[in-house]
Amino acid sequence: MTDPRLPFQDYYVRIYMEGKYSSSTVSWVGSMQLWLVMSSGLVSGRLYDSGYFYHLIIGGSIIFVFCLFMLSLAQPGEFYQIFLAQGVGAGLGIGLIYVPGIAVVSQYFYRRRTLAMAIVASGSGAGAALQSIMLNKLFQKLGFQTAVRISAAFNAGILCIGILLSRTRLTPAPSRDRNIFRYMKVFLREPQYIAVVMGTFFNLMGLFFPTFFLQLNANEKGIMSENLAFYLLPVLNASTVIGRVLFPMMVPLLGIFNIVIPSVFICVILIFCELTVTSAGGYFVIAVLYGVFWGAYVGMFAPMVGSLAKEDSEIGARMGICFTFNSFGGLIGTPIAGALLTPSFIWWQPTLFAGLSGAAGVICLAASRFWIAREKGSQIA
């Protein structure tokens, strides 16, 4: 429900905001939500390393589900109600769950850690595909409020299952190492870590553009019917599962950076290709390809940051600090793209912004790979 790949942006802009707010303004809901999901990692990552795993996932789940039910009470055209419930509340809830939910997998794997974490992360792609279809159908048949209540109940059940199945394995490291600023001082002296932080900042600023705007793009241009355009996001989401599972299998052979960097580069090319689409088939080709390579990046994003850790007790802190810094890219990226789009829907402007942001991310990640390869004395990085 907090995933920007769900159809809220399109539905809010075209229907629920009743034409009162621009695409840029509406984008603040998803970008604030994304910022809180990522920036909460600074706190949740250290609390996870300190042994508060269950406190985080249970507390975050309660906040998340409660805010979804509050979202169902939001009235048409009332932007502040949606912003508070979905942007702030639900974002904070998922923020408490995100880092612990991914990092706990690392306790059970060493040699295949990246693959294991990517497979777990692939669940969000499958879930987003399912909920995109479900929400689109429910919006049409039952309206926004009932649709959100059904989705909230569904998410509550899934979260309960996840909590019951989650277990920690390792004893928390001694508490004397809990000063986050001490960790930050050490990590930010590493050029490869700084480059990853910068690269993921630019990637979050640009690469979410298709997941927010692809469906709106198709509907606004009138190239396909509204019912057919609804399936663009489910197709993109389902395709991410392929990238999340397939590419991590190659990490032991090629190295994680050698897979992530080309994947992001292809995403940048596909963003620019959106300007050339003139048919429904073209949109679906972009949705499938973007989903595969975007899924590869998202699936290996957290393991890539975690791979820089010198010891397991650092994983939560490294992920949390990195997520906090790059969350600002997610916060400002989509509203900037929405502002560049303008009420006249000038698509080349936000497309150029998103593509150049992603290209900057590629350059930073390539720099990090250079330092890592030099340090390891191997091109498998």
Q: Which domains are assigned to the chain?
A: 8-167+177-376 (1.20.1250.20)
Contact of 24 with 339, CB cutoff 8 Å: yes
Q: What percent of the chain has pLDDT over 70?
A: 95
Q: How far apart are CA 377 and CA 368, in angstroms?
A: 14
Q: What is the reported pLDDT for 171?
A: 66
Contacts of 14 (CB under 8 A, 6+ apart): 216, 219
- For the chain, the three-class secondary structure string (H helix, E strand, C coil) is CCCCCCCHHHHHHHHHCCCCCCHHHHHHHHHHHHHHHHHCHHHHHHHHHCCCHHHHHHHHHHHHHHHHHHHCCCCCCCHHHHHHHHHHHHHHHHHHHHHHHHHHHHHCCCCCHHHHHHHHHHHHHHHHHHHHHHHHHHHHHHCHHHHHHHHHHHHHHHHHHHHHHCCCCCCCCCHHHCCHHHHHHHHCCCHHHHHHHHHHHHHHHHCCHHHHHHHHHHHHHCCCCHHHHCCHHHHHHHHHHHHHHHHHHHHHHHCHHHHHHHHHHHHHHHHHHHHHCCCHHHHHHHHHHHHHHHHHHHHHHHHHHHCCCCCHHHHHHHHHHHHHHHHHHHHHHHHHHHHHHCCCCCCHHHHHHHHHHHHHHHHHHHHHHHHHHHHHCCCCC
Q: What is the reported pLDDT for 3?
A: 54
Rounded to whole angstroms, the maximal C-alpha distance in the chain is 60
- Cβ atoms within 10 Å, residue 33: 28
Q: What is the reported pLDDT for 124?
A: 75
Q: What is the reported pLDDT for 157?
A: 95
Contact of 205 with 327, CB cutoff 8 Å: no
- Cβ atoms within 10 Å, residue 72: 17
Q: Read off the tokens for 327.
A: 């969350």
Selection from 365, 315, 372, 342 nearest residue 44 by Cα: 315
Selection from 337, 355, 236, 353 nearest residue 293 by Cα: 236
Q: What is the reported pLDDT for 172?
A: 64
Q: What is the reported pLDDT for 2?
A: 45
Rg (the chain; Cα; Å): 20
Burial class from Cβ neighbours inside 10 Å (0-12, 13-18, 19+) for residue 80 reads exposed
Contact of 268 with 355, CB cutoff 8 Å: yes
Contacts of 298 (CB under 8 A, 6+ apart): 121, 124, 125, 240, 243, 244
Q: What is the reported pLDDT for 129?
A: 77
Q: What is the reported pLDDT for 263?
A: 97
Contact of 44 with 169, CB cutoff 8 Å: no
Give whole-number Cα distances, 57 to 97, 198, 316, in Å: 5, 28, 14
What is the torsion angle, in degrees rounded to the nearest 10, for the CA atoms of residue 297, residue 300, residue 305 and residue 309? -160
Q: What is the reported pLDDT for 58?
A: 96
Series of mean pLDDT values for 10-residue runs along the chain (381 residues): 60 82 84 87 80 92 96 91 93 89 81 75 76 85 92 94 86 60 83 95 93 86 84 88 88 91 97 92 94 91 86 78 88 90 91 97 96 82 70
Q: What is the reported pLDDT for 1?
A: 45
Residue with tokens 């905001």: 17
Q: What is the pTM of this model?
A: 0.81
Selection from 125, 147, 143 nearest residue 134 by Cα: 147
Contacts of 192 (CB under 8 A, 6+ apart): 308, 368, 371, 372, 375
